[in-house]
Amino acid sequence: MTPSQAPTKREGIIFILSAPSGAGKTTLTRGLMQIFPEIALSVSCTTRPRRPGEVSGQDYRFVSQSAFTEMQARGDFAEWANVHGFLYGTPRAPLERKIKKGTDVLLDIDVQGAKKIKPQYRQAVSIFLIPPTWKDLETRLALRGTDGREAIRQRLANARREMREIVRYDYYVVNREVQEALASLKAIVVAERLKISRVKEWRVPSLRKLELGSAKMHE
């Protein structure tokens, strides 16, 4: 048994993925979930209208403004933010249940949300996704076909403000090509899972096997 296979006990890791609109976050999130299907995707609540093809409870939990406000008042959100005029929030209870069970969780949230999550969950890992160039970002926003010219202009302005927050993140990934970006994300997940500082308990039988194996190597 190798050290990476040794049974361990740890809390689940919160992986935060943030990006400007149009940077390809949705595509990479789906790709990462295919590589690591055991990671739980946190489903945010939002007041924005559902887009064609989106499924409530899978992409987002679509709620009314009043319902969102009631959840805010009860402290139901680990973080919430106003993004492009709509409210988004991460439900606290399912997030904490998962990490206590040792399940890793992926949060697809913006820079406002990341700033609120990190102080509460200090072991969370934050990743900022960026496009290769601003021209690429503008092109991707136009090709989506979901926004008008003024909305695209506003999203680009917001992207410039968000990029200033990159220094607060643990990692950055340039989405030049999907498979290349996915390989970088995979490397981050694997490295964070192998950190000794995250292990709460090593099971003694496994450690004994490792020690015996090490002794034989030195005979």
What's the pLDDT score for residue 133?
A: 76
Q: Are 117 and 14 in contact (CB under 8 A)?
A: yes
CA 18 to chain centre: 7
Q: What are phi and psi of 177, to 5 degrees?
A: -145, 135
- Which has the higher per-residue pLDDT, 60 or 83? 60
- Tell the residue number behind the tokens 């102080």, with chain if given: 119
Q: What are phi and psi of 128, to 5 degrees?
A: -110, 125
Instruction: Tell me the pLDDT tens digit for each residue of 119-167.
Output: 999 999 999 998 877 777 766 666 665 666 777 777 777 778 888 899 9
Taking 70 as the threshold, does the pLDDT of residue 217 lie above it?
A: no
- Tell the residue number behind the tokens 């290769």, with chain if given: 132
- Which has the higher per-residue pLDDT, 5 or 23? 23
Q: Give the whole-angstrom CA distance, residue 67 versus residue 60.
A: 14
Taking 60 as the threshold, does the pLDDT of residue 83 lie above it?
A: yes
What's the pLDDT score for residue 2?
A: 45
Q: Give the whole-angstrom CA distance, residue 155 versus residue 149.
A: 10
Q: What's the longest Cα–Cα distance across the chain?
A: 72
Give the H/E segment covering residue 107: strand 105-108
In the 8-state DSSP scheme, what is residue 175?
A: -
Centre a 10 Å sphere on the Cβ of residue 32 and count the other Cβ atoms it contains. Answer: 22
Superfamily of domain 3-43+102-217: P-loop containing nucleotide triphosphate hydrolases (3.40.50.300)
Q: Are 198 and 13 in contact (CB under 8 A)?
A: yes
Instruction: Tell me the pLDDT tens digit for each residue of 88-124.
Output: 999 999 999 999 999 999 999 999 999 999 999 999 9
Q: What are phi and psi of 104, to 5 degrees?
A: -75, 145
pTM for the complete prediction? 0.81
- Tell the residue number behind the tokens 């096997």, with chain if given: 209
